[in-house]
């Protein structure tokens, strides 16, 4: 029962944080939405920061595990496609969690934020290595820039219209990510034309 209650509290917190923002939501709000008293929340989480930390870590754990599996796909193009699929699929299925992660992770304690940023860099490094193999025409800074742009694009899942189902969101995000990853930079087009 404790595991179930913890799961409910995390789901409720995700909903509240995504709609109202982390700082606008209190422990009592989370408890009330979950059907328990605020103090009962403390049986499961030390504080509100611990809830946010678990939400961010849950997202990063799933993405990082998926990226590590994707990196084993062999051919670099297949790796990039698998990475897109992992992130777009996660984003489309967990839009509220992505919203919390993207908007609220900076509210974590400094120690938790440093740990999360290390894991983010590991995740981005997998993308960068795959892109480097597919796009040898890009320099290191350009690769980092393209990866940052693509991850931001896929994280737009948090803002997709609610009328779109998960499959439609995943298709849109995947198509956009693939287009950005393979697009020639404007300067490259100009120099090729001249």
Entry field: residues in the chain: 194
Strands (DSSP E) found in the chain: none
Residues of the chain with confidence (pLDDT) below 70: 1-2, 185-194
Distances (CA, A) of 97 to 14, 39, 49, 66, 157: 6, 24, 15, 17, 10
Q: Whole-model pTM?
A: 0.89
pLDDT at 4: 79
pLDDT of residue 51: 97
Give just the sign of the alpha carbon dihedral 125, 119, 3, 99: negative
pLDDT in tens, 78-128: 999 999 999 999 999 999 999 999 999 999 999 999 999 999 999 999 999
Looking at residue 169, its pLDDT comes to 97
Pair 130, 123: CB distance under 8 Å? no
Q: What b-and-e string marks burial along 3-31, b requiring 16 or more CB atoms within 10 Å of the CB?
A: eebbebbbebbbbbbbeeebeebebebbb
Q: In whole angstroms, what is the distance from residue 132 CA to residue 11 CA?
A: 37
């Amino acid at each position: 029962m404790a595991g179930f209650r913890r799961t409910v509290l995390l789901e409720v917190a995700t909903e509240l944080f995504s709609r109202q923002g982390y700082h606008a939501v209190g422990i009592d709000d989370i408890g009330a939405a979950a059907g328990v008293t605020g103090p009962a929340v403390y049986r499961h989480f030390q504080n509100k920061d611990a809830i946010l930390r678990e939400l961010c870590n849950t997202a990063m754990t799933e993405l990082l595990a998926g990226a590590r599996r994707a990196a084993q796909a062999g051919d670099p193009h297949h790796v990039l496609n698998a990475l897109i699929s992992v992130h777009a699929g996660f984003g489309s299925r967990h839009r509220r969690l992505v919203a919390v992660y993207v908007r609220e992770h900076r509210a974590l304690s400094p120690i938790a934020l440093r740990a999360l940023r290390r894991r983010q860099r590991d995740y981005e490094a997998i993308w960068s290595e795959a892109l480097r193999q597919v796009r040898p025409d890009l320099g290191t800074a350009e690769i980092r820039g393209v990866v940052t742009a693509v991850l931001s694009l896929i994280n737009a899942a948090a803002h997709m219209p609610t009328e779109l189902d998960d499959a439609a969101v995943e298709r849109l995000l995947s198509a956009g990510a693939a287009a950005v990853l393979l697009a020639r930079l404007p300067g490259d087009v100009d120099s090729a034309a001249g």
